[in-house]
Amino acid sequence: MDNVQPKIKHRPFCFSVKGHVKMLRLALTVTSMTFFIVAQAPEPYIVITGFEVTVILFFILLYILRLDRLMKWLFWPLLDIINSLVTTVFMLIVSVLALIPETTTLTVGGGLF
């Protein structure tokens, strides 16, 4: 008898829970950066949010292209958690700094997002 094992079907990243969370995070960060750009906020706000957009896009592309399956020598969930923690700290600092001085409504909106 043939021992044919059924091929495990992988769910595409864009349709997974992790994919939806990353896309939502990307949308919120891009919205925040847009508010900062339109409000002509100080450059560090724009640079930090732009950096976060770049990192989020990197992780999305990495998971879409399934490069995490090829590079097994890295523990991707740990890198994802570290990235989330660093992003949280940076964005929290930017949010608080954007809300402290007299600012425009759009800068406050960027800080809230």
Dihedral (Cα; 95, 97, 102, 104), 10-degree rounding: -40
- Domain spans in the chain, listed from the N-terminal domain onward: 81-112
Interatomic CA distance for residues 56 and 59, integer angstroms: 5
Please tell me the distance from the alpha carbon of residue 58 to that of residue 13, in angstroms, as a whole number: 14
Q: What is the pLDDT of residues 43-64, one digit of tens each?
A: 888 888 888 899 889 888 888 8
Q: Say if pTM beats, i.e. exceeds, 0.75.
A: no
Q: Given pLDDT bands bounded at 50, 70 and 90, which one contains residue 103?
A: low
User: How many CA atoms does the CB half-sphere of 86 hold within 13 Å?
Assistant: 12
Question: How confident is the prediction for the chain on average, in pLDDT?
Answer: 79
Residue 97: both structure tokens together? 């700094």
> Quick check: helix, strand or coil at residue 38?
helix
Quote the distance between the C-alpha of residue 22 and its chain's center: 6
Candidates 37, 48, 73; CA nearest to 56 is: 48
If you average pLDDT over residues 93-113, what whole number do you get? 71
pLDDT at 95: 73
Q: What is the pLDDT of residues 9-41, one digit of tens each?
A: 667 777 778 788 888 888 988 998 898 888 887
Q: Are 34 and 112 in contact (CB under 8 A)?
A: no
